[in-house]
Amino acid sequence: MQLTPDVVVAGSPELIRVSAPGATSVDGEWLGRKVQFFPGARTGEWTALAGVDVEAPIGPSTLKIHIIAMPDSADFSRTVEIHAAHYRTESLGVQPKFVEPGPEALKQIHEQSEVKAKVFASSAPEPLWHGDFHAPVAAAATDSFGVRRMFNGKLASIHKGADFRAHTGTPVHAANSGVVVLARPLYFEGNCVIIDHGMGLFTESMHFSRIDVKEGQHVNTGDVLGLSGATGRVTGPHLHWAVRWQGASLDPIKLLHLNLSGSTPPSKKTAAHPHHHRPR
Ligand SMILES: [Zn+2]
């Protein structure tokens, strides 16, 4: 079993390769999350794109692997040390309605969080992504993932995405192929687009000035999703871009740096995917 990057920090996406010649299926479990493997490019190699949540406990963790083969199946596990990433703390000023939302806003926020939970709960059972992930905008990324943020000196939250310095009107692209599972305005996120890349992996783009895709639409790497902007809880125009895997928030910049070309699922011509569910 091989993990890339081999030094695992909180918030890191991990490419896991297992050599299992003759296996008919491989799955695993790591920190309470199901790890699904698909056959890799090389014969006998199985691959999973997984990761460790930004708030994962620092210290040893157990990665369990279950290999189903004929006539025998095998279970094994490995201890993976999770290292602290030492994220910064910063203070920001935003409009008061985003720190202390009124009752009407709270109702809206609650409903929207249920919509998002439903979206993240269902993912295509096979990888929809192919090859490396590409930056969503032609703009500089800030070192902002994992930063502990104080809003107006009060509410502390962990920044679970990467901010790109994109001016309003900058085209935002699909980082990889997948299905648009959410494309609508939300309270904090502003105009928001979520793409399902399959097997529990999602990318989420926020604060668009305009959305150009529809829920249920299949997108390819590089397709324009909309234009960046300053809608929702922002201090100014930018693109907030987040990566989620099985509910874990991963560092998007680290995902962009992963070389996936040798471990990529076979390319499929996919016009429609019946596997995702539209939020109601
Ligand atoms: Zn952000």
Q: Tell me: the pLDDT tens digits for 160-194?
A: 999 999 999 999 999 999 999 999 999 999 999 99
Q: How far is the CA of 173 from the centre of ligand 1 (A)?
A: 17
CA of 159 from ligand 1 middle (Å) equals: 6
Q: What's the 213 CA to ligand 1 centre distance in angstroms? A: 21
Ligand 1 centroid, distance to 237 Cα (angstroms)? 10
What is the per-residue pLDDT across 32-66, written as a single tens digit (0 to 9) for each? 999 999 998 788 899 999 999 999 999 999 999 99
0.85 surpassed by pTM: yes
In degrees, to the nearest 5, what angle opens at C-alpha 117 toward C-alphas 251 and 253?
10
The residues that bridge with 162 in the sheet, in sequence order, are 241
Ligand 1: centre distance to CA 72 (Å): 48
Tokens, residue 79: 């201890």
Ligand 1: centre distance to CA 163 (Å): 5
